[in-house]
Structure 1
Amino acid sequence: MIAVPRPGVREPVQSVQLFWADFTRTFFMHEIGVALLVGGMALVCAGAIFLIPEPPGARAENSLDRSQAEIELHLREIEKLWRDNK
């Protein structure tokens, strides 16, 4: 008796090979998709960090300059009061 394969029925070895081929293809496509998604999110975050403007006085040198100016103003006021009270 000759074994005639029925349509849609595969031999066990062939079905395992097809399973692993399908599994690896979908697995690596998923990994590539996740990598692209994470990379895109990283680019968006980096762009947001560099494109959002800083508020005035946010940098250290600006705040030091401002506090230095405030100190000088207070010193002038103290000197004026000291001269007035002499």
Structure 2
Amino acid sequence: MTVTATNGTFAADIAKSDVTVTGLPSGMDYTVTYVDATHITVTLTGQATDHENADDTNVSVTVAQAKVAGATANVSTGNVAIDFND
């Protein structure tokens, strides 16, 4: 997932410890890569323990305020769907 900052800029030293992915299925993890001042990439890794269609879920990404210049609070994305095939 590419996360774009529209009213601020990401710190070049942003790391996984500065980013939280909520709703991640069990068995999955993520990495964080700084692309440029307005983009980071969050890559989902691993394999979901439960991955039937009934296990579809939504994830969101939250970046710590300290890593977004111009932010007055932590910055979060909207939901992104994870849709498993049966």
**Which TM-score band (shorter chain)?**
under 0.3
Greater relative contact order (CA < 8 Å, ≥ 6 in sequence): 2
Greater Rg over alpha carbons, structure = 1
Task: Compare the two structures and name the one with the higher helix fraction.
Answer: 1
TM-score (norm 1): 0.17
TM-score (norm 2): 0.17
